[in-house]
Amino acid sequence: MNKEHDEILQNTFPWLKRPEKTKDYDRNLTLYKNYGFECSDGWFQLLYDLNKEIADRYAQEGKEVDLKIEQIKSKWAHLCFYYSIPGHADGIQAIDGIGGAGIRFYPESDGNELYKDIAQIVDKYEHEISGKTCEWCGQPGTPRKGSWVYTLCDSCYEQHTKTKIKNANISVLTERLWITKPTTRTVNIINEEYLTQIAEAGEFEEYYGAEFCEETKSVIDLNQPLFFLIYLCDRQTYIGYVGFTGQEDDEIFLEFYIFTEYRNRGYATEALQAILDRLFDNRFLVEEDGKPQIVRGHRVLATVREDNEISKHILENLGFKRNPDGEYVDLKLSIIAPEVASIDYHLTKELYFENKI
């Protein structure tokens, strides 16, 4: 959000006031106080209206607004306006899910009419209004699927697709693996195979944070610009996938999944090394506007469940470091549920090559 809009909100609504920051991340402050409004300018009016409604409801009660703002961001094409109320634990109250399939918990109102109404107001903006408001320009919009999900109007979407990254055209052979893109002929079979494997392993919910059903199944598509399938060297045995999503500001998010029967053999590490080598060595080419472009991921982010010892081990061996406390990687497999702890990691080119030596 631009400075002007940001300041109008902070100066109009005292509970949105943030202190001057002295360091990048201050663990004593909420995510909102650390990062401000994590959405684009198109949602300025919506945030203004939401806070105005909160102010009016408190005014009816003759009370000062006593909400603590935890985090305000755009996620899966919807607004997340996380807050806590006095006397209740802080925290982000949501289970993330694909395509907005997550579950949102509002702070307990304990029968308090005021807090019940506030939850309703916030719910209306999160679930009805934000999904219909273009995040870039504020005009009526609809959620758009892609490697990153936004609510956009037709014209912003057209602009967005014009510069959209096309397929990364890479096939990599490592000692034991062949890493490649699905073809248009095989992509449906490949998707079905992947969904069957992850569901049978009982890992769909913990990986995506959403229930396995027709709706969630339908949004999973391994045919993403920066996704690759992992095969054994016979080029026929499909063992999982590896890929990047959400390429924004040079930060990209890593995902990988190896089918259960092929685990503990170092395949994930071998595949990750192969694509990280290319990425950090500027050999990761994609097609953009018909021209080859280098994907520049200066910072690769990844999230794993705290109890997923294997994935943690894989990432740490590759040089990934744990993020500073409270710094979120907001991918679908993050914050699976409030009670499930997850760990966020980052890797820079420097860390990666330092670790290789």
- Interface with Zn ion in residues 44-83 (CB under 5 A): none
The nearest distance, CB 286 to Zn ion, in angstroms, is 25
Residue 39 binds to Zn ion (criterion: CB under 5 A): no
- Which residues ranging from 156 to 175 are in contact with Zn ion (CB under 5 A)? 156
Nearer to Zn ion, 14 or 140 (CB): 140
What string marks each residue from 84 to 123 as x (binds Zn ion by CB under 5 A) or -? ----------------------------------------
When binding is defined by CB under 5 A, the residue of 136, 194, 241, 328 that contacts Zn ion is 136
Q: Report helix, strand or coil for 321.
A: strand
Q: Which lies closer to Zn ion via its Cβ, residue 134 or residue 301? A: 134
Q: Among residues 120 and 155, whose Cβ is nearest to Zn ion?
A: 155
> Which part of the chain contacts Zn ion (CB under 5 A), choosing from 126-134, 178-186, 208-216, 278-286?
126-134
For residue 138, the minimal CB distance to Zn ion (Å) is 7
For Zn ion, which is the closer residue by CB, 150 or 228?
150
The stretch near Zn ion (CB under 5 A) out of 129-137, 190-198, 278-286, 290-298 is 129-137
* Residue 131 or 319 having the CB closest to Zn ion: 131
**Cα separation, 319 vs 352, whole angstroms:** 5
Q: Which of 225, 241, 226, 223 is nearest to 177 (CA)?
A: 241
Residue 231 identity: Y
Q: Is 122 or 152 the residue whose CB approaches Zn ion more closely?
A: 152
Residue 137 is a binding residue for Zn ion (CB under 5 A):
yes
3-state SS of 242-284 is EEEEEEECCEEEEEEEECHHHCCCCHHHHHHHHHHHHHHCCCC
Q: Least CB distance from residue 330 to Zn ion, whole Å?
A: 22
Which residue stretch of 31-39, 150-158, 239-247, 271-279 sits at the interface with Zn ion (rule: CB under 5 A)? 150-158
Instruction: Report 236-275 residues binding Zn ion (CB under 5 A).
Output: none
Which lies closer to Zn ion via its Cβ, residue 79 or residue 119? 79
Q: How would you classify residue 189: left for phi > 0, otherwise alpha for psi between -120 and 50, otherwise beta?
A: alpha
Long-range contacts of 15-23 (CB under 8 A, 24+ apart): 15/51, 15/65, 15/67, 15/68, 15/69, 16/51, 16/69
Q: Which residues contact 301 (CB under 8 A, 6 or more apart)?
A: 251, 252, 253, 254, 323, 329, 331, 344, 345, 346, 347
- Choosing from 1, 9, 77, 153, the residue that interacts with Zn ion (CB under 5 A) is 153
Provide, rounded to whole angstroms, the least separation between the CB of residue 112 and Zn ion.
38
Number of residues that bind Zn ion (CB under 5 A): 6
Written as one letter, the residue type at 279 is L
Strand, coil or helix: 121: helix
Is position 134 an interface residue for Zn ion (rule: CB under 5 A)? Answer: yes
Rounded to whole angstroms, the Cα distance separating 242 from 308 reads: 17
C-alpha of 139 from chain center:
24
Residue-wise DSSP of 82-98: EEE-TTS--S--EE--G
Strand partners, 348: 299
* Contact residues: Zn ion, CB under 5 A: 134, 136-137, 139, 153, 156
